[in-house]
Amino acid sequence: MSIRIKGTHPQGLEITRKTHGVPHIKALDLPGVFWGMGYCHAMDRGLQMLIMRILGQGRGCECLDDSDDMLEVDRFFRKLNWGNHLQEQWNQLDAESQGLLQEYTRGVNAYLQRSRPWECRLVGYKPTPWLPEDTLMITRMAGYLTLAQSQGEVEKFFIEMVQAGVENDKLASLFPVDADNIDRGLLSKIRLEEKLVPESLKWLCPVPRAMASNNWVISGSKTSSGKAMLCNDPHLEVNRLPAVWYEQTAQWGDNYAMGANMPGLPGIIVGRTRHLSWGATYPFMDNIDSWMEDCKDGKYRRGDQWQDFTVRKETIQRKKHDPLQMTIYENPHGVLDGNPNEAGLYLTTCWAPSRSGAKSIEAIKVMMEATTVEQGMAAMGQLEVAFNFVFADTRGNIGYQMSGLYPLRKEGVNGFMPVPGWDPEYDWRGFASHEDLPREINPAQGFIVTANQDQNHQGVLDPANMPMGDYRFRRISHLLDERGDHDFHSSRSIQMDTYSIQAREYLEVLLPLLPESRGKSVLKAWDCRYDLDSQAALLFETFYSKLRKEVFGKGYLGEAVVKHLEEQTGIFIDFYQNFDRLLMDEKSPWYTEFTRDQAFAAAFEQAVEGYDWNKTWGEVNQVMLTNIFFGGKVPAFLGFDHGPIPLRGGRATPHQGQIYTSGGRKTSFAPSYRMITDMGEDVMYTANAGGASDRRFSPHYKSGVQDWLEGKFKKMEIR
């Protein structure tokens, strides 16, 4: 279906709809492609783009909803200050990148100036034209929210545990710290004024929560075609409409690109061109640090001197209330969490790419025309935000490169614990070269897998100190290694796999401890798969939850705290293997009042008490796909929401299916997008957890949901 382009547009530009409404852009050159990408984003996802811009600028109370919840969100973004320092990033762009970004912006505005989302009229918002700086800001949002953000959360959680009196040996068993180097005296004096992340996140739903992902590349020596293959399934929040990802195909001259990006960002984030393909996961790089600041009389101590903070005044305009004045204090270490006029020890915190954007845009531009793995690694290695990229090219090469601004710190400092801000020895000393970050090309085993596991051994430096568990990595690696003729079908099977190595390892400890019973029989017969009809998966999850409460709740954190962490935060979601490590260790310092075996047996006894044996995993592990604007507040018959839908998989399975509550809102981690491509053909197979459009009455609003649930793929190609 051809799309009529309104207004003036580049000569020779054509836009048509392909399978499931995916737009195909045909242009004479790359600037024309970028114009078309902007036009399509505004046409299909204009509301999503505008809400993200409003939130990033901290203007939610002014433009959307003047509630106390929104005020908290505005305060959060004003402190981050992402709406500033954008001009300097624009100035850093080379002339070609500036031109492409301007074309993308012109495309966005060509549509928005003729048609704005009706929801804007509903809240009385008149959008101003889109600017190149808005796109630069969204690159920061995409790289920080729930990604680097999770590192900040766990580092504050560590301080809270110190202040709660948890012993050093227990802390050292859980976090990347040396028990002898924990200065309890200093850490106990820190005044934690606010959490890094606001509890009320319901208006952040246009910004996808992101954590786990899988990607892998296979060399031609292990594929049926003899050509390299690449697969990617980013695990993001799926209980939302529209989908996180926006798919496009583009063609200019003899070149093409196909794949997915996010509204507000041009180019292709994950996908392929004629000669090169790439996919991304998150590496859990620690590039967010905190410094302890000794403050009094509005100043901070530096050596023996007292220095003035930079004072930033922010005014949050509100629809129904008087404007709120904010005073934010900053120094070279970052934003202060507190008021320096009240004497005390506070934290300043800085995310390394907080003034980023230019290099990310330039990398996206290069990838549109790169042809080799080496070129891809060099380009994506320059990204300021942290990702694990894998690559495959038509020459048969496969490669891996971690990206991100990684701070160079004082020797022996890994960035996890806050350090003395008054000592210049603890200042950052620049940033690492991407060539010193984990990377690999054409390994002997014939494949590369990244699944958020520890990959420090693949680089000169150790950028991750709290990586995610390696269960998915181990499972995928095993499946790739066991055969030498991989194709689309085997790759799809891996992406849909629900087998849990974590569950198997726990059962090896648990089952021998149990007397014969119905519960033991159910788990003994279980194949450790989190399939929708599994009863055992639900029983295991009940046991696992009881075990955490048994070990961490009794006498240490308190059951109420563990319940809060489990139900309202991402601590157990993101860093579960750290907890697993000490739960499985018979000699863990957390086992003092009782042994590991006693804890396991007691937790299982609690799990089966009053247990409903008729429920299955699919009946319990369900979410609603909720419209990002209305947030579940409109009647179901209007069709803005969809579901509930069941999610197969668990926390440690290749096909993840995690659900938890954050800030009173249900969220999820699952394969939000699936892609498989063989470099021997100009085709990509994909499945998107939604459709192309954010317009409720468009046929493309949720056109891909059912196929995604069933594991069906569509074929994307250039014709």
Tell me if 480 is assigned to some domain: no
Query: Could you tell me how far CA 647 lies from the centroid of its own chain?
Result: 18
**Do residues 74 and 61 lie in contact, with contact meaning Cβ atoms separated by under 8 Å?**
yes
Query: Which of the pair, 514 or 7, is modelled with greater confidence?
Result: 514
pLDDT attached to residue 152:
79
Span 366-374, average pLDDT: 96
Q: What is the distance between the alpha carbons of residues 537 and 627, in angstroms, rounded to a whole number?
A: 30
Query: Which of the pair, 664 or 47, is modelled with greater confidence?
Result: 47
Q: What is the distance between the alpha carbons of residues 683 and 95, in angstroms, rounded to a whole number?
A: 33
Tell me if 555 is assigned to some domain: yes
Rounded percentage of the chain residues whose pLDDT exceeds 90: 78
**Do residues 226 and 236 lie in contact, with contact meaning Cβ atoms separated by under 8 Å?**
no
pLDDT attached to residue 148:
64
Span 548-552, average pLDDT: 90
Tell me if 598 is assigned to some domain: yes
| CATH number, domain containing residue 582 | 1.10.1400
Give tens-digit pLDDT for 122-164.
Answer: 999 999 999 999 999 998 888 776 566 677 778 888 898 898 8
Which residues span the domain enclosing 587? 505-610
Q: What is the distance between the alpha carbons of residues 582 and 548, in angstroms, rounded to a whole number?
A: 11
E-strand stretches of 407-538 = 419-420, 439-441, 447-450
pLDDT attached to residue 18:
80
pLDDT attached to residue 486:
98
Give tens-digit pLDDT for 629-645.
Answer: 998 888 988 999 999 99
Examine the pLDDT at 660 and tell me if it is beyond 80. Answer: no
Span 26-32, average pLDDT: 97
Give tens-digit pLDDT for 332-353.
Answer: 999 999 999 999 999 999 999 8
Span 353-366, average pLDDT: 90
Separation in Å, CA 314 to CA 16, 71, 79, 81, 134: 44, 13, 9, 10, 19
Give tens-digit pLDDT for 227-257.
Answer: 999 999 998 888 889 998 999 999 999 999 9
What's the number of domains the chain is made of? 1
Q: What is the distance between the terminal CA atoms of the chain, rounded to a whole angstrom?
A: 14
φ/ψ bin of 259: left (φ > 0), alpha (ψ from -120 to 50), beta (otherwise):
left
Examine the pLDDT at 198 and tell me if it is beyond 70. Answer: no
Examine the pLDDT at 205 and tell me if it is beyond 70. Answer: no
- CA angle centred on 42, ends 36 and 45, rounded to 5°: 120
Binned at pLDDT 50, 70 and 90, residue 69 comes out as confident
Span 216-222, average pLDDT: 98
Tell me if 276 is assigned to some domain: no
Tell me if 582 is assigned to some domain: yes
Tell me if 525 is assigned to some domain: yes
List Cβ neighbours of 559 (8 Å cut-off, separation of 6 or more): 549, 553
Span 492-509, average pLDDT: 98
Give tens-digit pLDDT for 683-697.
Answer: 999 999 999 999 999
List Cβ neighbours of 369 (8 Å cut-off, separation of 6 or more): 30, 255, 273
In the chain, % helix, strand, coil (3-state, to 5) comes to: 35, 25, 40
Q: What is the distance between the alpha carbons of residues 105 and 228, in angstroms, rounded to a whole number?
A: 36
List Cβ neighbours of 185 (8 Å cut-off, separation of 6 or more): none
Q: What is the rounded average pLDDT for all residues in the chain?
A: 92
**Do residues 377 and 439 lie in contact, with contact meaning Cβ atoms separated by under 8 Å?**
yes
Tell me if 601 is assigned to some domain: yes
Q: What is the DSSP secondary structure assignment for residue 2, as one 8-state letter?
A: B
